[in-house]
Structure 1
C-alpha cells in the first residue's frame, strides 16, 4: 500500500490524515503554514486522534504514493507548481475540492495523460482554533465519490475494470478507502461533480449572503431563487452533454439542505472569517460555461456579483 501525502492543513485534509492515523494507513501532511496545522481530530463519539508532526516541504514521491490536494480551486495552481519538480515518478494525484475548474488547471500543468483522480466528498469537518492550537472536528458522516478523468473512453465501468486498465489508480482508490471510507468509484465522475456543483450553487451563496445555516435554504422565501439557479444550471450542464432535469436538481438541493441543516456552508464560513470565497469556481463556473454557449444566466451572474461585494 502506498503512502498518502496530504497537501495543506485544511479541515478535510486534516480529517483524512486523522482517519488514516486511526486506520493504520501511512500518511504525511504538508501544510502551507506549519503553525496552523491541526494537531488532533475530535470524532463524533468523543474520541480524539493525535496527528503525527507535519512535513515542512515537498519531497520526491514514489509512483506507488498518492498525493492529495484537498484545497480551494484558487489555491490549486500554486500548490501544483510547488510540487511539480517532485512528481518525476508520477505518483497518483487526487484533486478534492468544491466547485469546478481544478481539472483544467491540473491538465495544463501535468498533461492530459497524468495518473489523475477527481473526487468530491460529503464528509463534514471543521477546523477549530483553541488555546492549545488548531484541532479538526468531524461534523458529518459522508462518502467520497472518485473517478479517473484522464482514462481513455469508454470509461471503466467498475473498480475491477479500472484495476485491469490502470492498476495504479485502482490501488490509490483502495488506499483512500482504507483511510477514510467509504470511497466509491464513479465511471462518470464529471456527472457526480456537476451534481455537487448544483447543490453548492444554491446553498453556498444563499447561506453566505443571508448569514444562515443550510436548513433555512428550504424556506419559501428562497424558492424563487432556488428554482432560477437550478433552471440555469440545468440548461448549462445539458448544453455540455450532461443529462439533468431541473425539478430533480431542485429536489436534490432541498434534500441536501435538510440533511445538512445544522451546518454552515464553506462559503458562509469564508465570508464570516474574511477569507476569499470559492464563488468563481461555483456560480462563476456556471456563468463562464454559459457564456461560452451563449446561454443567459442572470440569477447566477447576480449571485457572483453579490458575493464578491460582501468582501468590500
Structure 2
C-alpha cells in the first residue's frame, strides 16, 4: 500500500488524515499554514484522534504514493505547480473539490495521460478553533466517496476489477483511499457524478450564502422559483455536453440533499461568514462559462454569480 500525502489543512483533508491514522494507513499532511492545521479530530462516537505533526514542505513521492488535493479549485493551480518537481515518478494524483474546472487545470499542468483520479465525497466535516487558539476537525456526517479515472482511454473499465487489469496503479490508489476513509466507490462515469453534484451545489451554496440560512431552508416555498430556474438552466447546459439529466429528477435530488444535510451550513455560507474567497466561479460560474460556449442563456446563474461576488467584496 502506498502512502497518502494530503495537501492543505482544511476540514475534508484533515478528516481523511484522521481516518487514515485511525485505520493504520501511512500518511502525511502538507498545510499551507501549519499553525491552522488541526491537531486532532473528534469522531462521531466521541472518540478523539490525534494527528501527526504536519510536514513543512513537499517531498519526492514514489510511484505507489497517492497525492490527494482536497482544495478549492482556485487553489489548485498553485498547489500543483509547487508539487510538480516532486512528481517525476508519476504517483497518482487525486482531485477532490466542490465545483468544476479542476480537471482542466490538472490536465494543463500534468498532461492528459497523467494517472489522475477525480473524487467527490459526501462525508461531513467542520474545522473549528478552540479557546486555546488551536484547531480541530469534527466529523459531522457519515457519507461516501465516489472516484473515477478521467484520463483513461475508452472504453472505460466499468468495474474496479476491470480497472485493476487496465490501470493497476489507479486501482491500488482507490484501495488506499478506501482503507483510509471508507466507503470509496469506483465510478466509470465519474464526470456524470460530478455534474450531478454541481447541480446540488449550484442551488444550495449561493442561496444559503446570500440569505444566511441553513441547508434545510432551501426547500422553503420562497425559493421555489429560483430553485426551478437554476435546475432548468443546469439541465440545458449539462445535456448540451452529452449528459442525460432530467430536470425534475435534478430538482428532486437538490431537495433531498438539502433536507438530508438540513442542519448544515454550506461551504459557501461559511466562506462568506468568515471573509474568505468563495467557489462561485467553479460552481455557478462554471455553468455560465460552459453555457457561453454553447450559446445558451443562463440568466439565473449569471445573476447568482454577480450577487455572491458583490457579497464577498
Q: Under a length normalisation based on structure 2, what TM-score does the superposition of the two structures give?
A: 0.99
Q: Which runs of 5+ in 2 are unaligned?
A: none
CA deviation string 1:196-246 (max 9, x = no partner): 000000000000000000000001100000000000000000000000000
CA distance in 2 between counterparts of 1:241 and 1:265 reads: 29
Query: Whole-Å Cα distance in 1 between the matches of residues 131 and 35 of structure 2?
Result: 13
Q: Distance in 1 between matches of 2:184 and 2:207?
A: 29
Alpha-carbon offset, residue 108 of structure 1: 0.1
1:189 matched to which residue of 2? 190
The structural deviation recorded for 1:154 is 1.1
The answer on whether the counterparts of 2:278 and 2:312 sit within 8 Å (CA) in structure 1 is: no
**Which residue does 1:30 correspond to in 2?**
30
Rounded Cα–Cα distance in structure 1 between residues aligned with 2:131 and 2:83: 32
1:88-129: per-residue Cα shift (whole Å, max 9, x none)?
000000000000000000000000000000000000100001
Given that residues 121 and 146 in structure 2 are in contact (C-alpha distance below 8 angstroms), is that contact kept between their aligned partners in structure 1?
yes
Displacement after TM superposition at 1:131 (Å): 2.6
Paired residue secondary structure (1:242): coil
Deviations 1:60-103 (A, max 9, x none): 10000000000000000000000000000000000000000000
Deviation, 1:44, is 1.2
* Structure 2 counterpart of 1:173: 174
Indicate the residue corresponding to 2:55 in structure 1: 55
State the alpha-carbon separation in 2 of the partners of residues 180 and 227 from structure 1. Answer: 35
Contact 2:7-2:31 within 8 A present in 1 as well: yes
Show the counterpart of 1:205: 206
CA RMSD of aligned residues (A): 0.4
TM-score (norm 1): 1.00
Q: Distance in 2 between matches of 1:159 and 1:180?
A: 17
Alpha-carbon distance between aligned partners in 2 of 1:304 and 1:154, rounded to the nearest angstrom: 37
Q: Distance in 1 between matches of 2:145 and 2:40?
A: 22
Q: Distance in 2 between matches of 1:30 and 1:308?
A: 29
Q: Which residue in 2 is equivalent to 1:43?
A: 43
Match of 1:144 in 2: 145
Q: Determine the structure 1 residue equivalent to 2:278.
A: 277
Runs of 4+ in structure 1 deviating by more than 3 angstroms, as ranges, are none
3-state SS, counterpart of residue 45 of structure 2: coil
Give the Cα separation in 1 of the matches to 2:312 and 2:119: 29
